[in-house]
Amino acid sequence: MKIRLAADLQPDSIVDGEGVRTVIWTQGCPHNCKGCHNPSTHDFNGGTLVDVDYIIDELKSIKNQDGITLSGGDPVCQSEACLKICKEAHKIGLNVWCYTGFTYESLLSNPMHLALLKEIDILVDGKFILEEKSYDLYFKGSKNQRIIDVKKSLEEEKVVLVNKYINKKDYSNHYEKPNYLFI
């Protein structure tokens, strides 16, 4: 199985999720968000095709990492390959963060996306909105994006936000009656 990557694996990141992480930069994104910090990852024909087993072998050889982060591009556009990587990452004791322009709710209706969600620990969802960009946010680029505990969200059948990364007032402009649980 192959995956299209925008760049080599990036170990030792401390800005793409909690802890020390290896970032997997996927290629291809349908969202084309104005102000995206990775516009070169939008082209679905760009980047390089890499064997998923190669990535898994690399993850096994990289030391002192807390987890992996799927970013890009939009990793959800390559759900099958990302699913295999996530399963192996969990087997070797790594947690999984994923950044996507899709919303959590929209991913639930697609069986392959749902299978991928089940292997993601933390999901940062939603398109980047330039007008809501802030440097005061943890692990996200714009105020509309959410940092979601996927396991708890699936269990409780509603979005469960990770409280330690959320300033609750960020959501006051977006949702009149939020159906969120802050943990």
The pLDDT tens digits of the residues spanning 33-69 come to: 999 888 999 999 999 999 999 999 999 999 999 999 9
CATH topology for 2-182? TIM Barrel (3.20.20)
* Per-residue model confidence as pLDDT tens digits over 89-98: 999 999 999 9
Does 9 score more than 90 pLDDT?
yes
pLDDT for residue 155 is more than 80 = yes
Domains in the chain: boundaries: 2-182
Mean pLDDT calculated for residue range 151-171: 83
Q: Does residue 179 or residue 16 have the better pLDDT? A: 16
Q: Rounded distance, CA 137 to CA 167, Å?
A: 8
CB 89 within 8 A of CB 59: yes
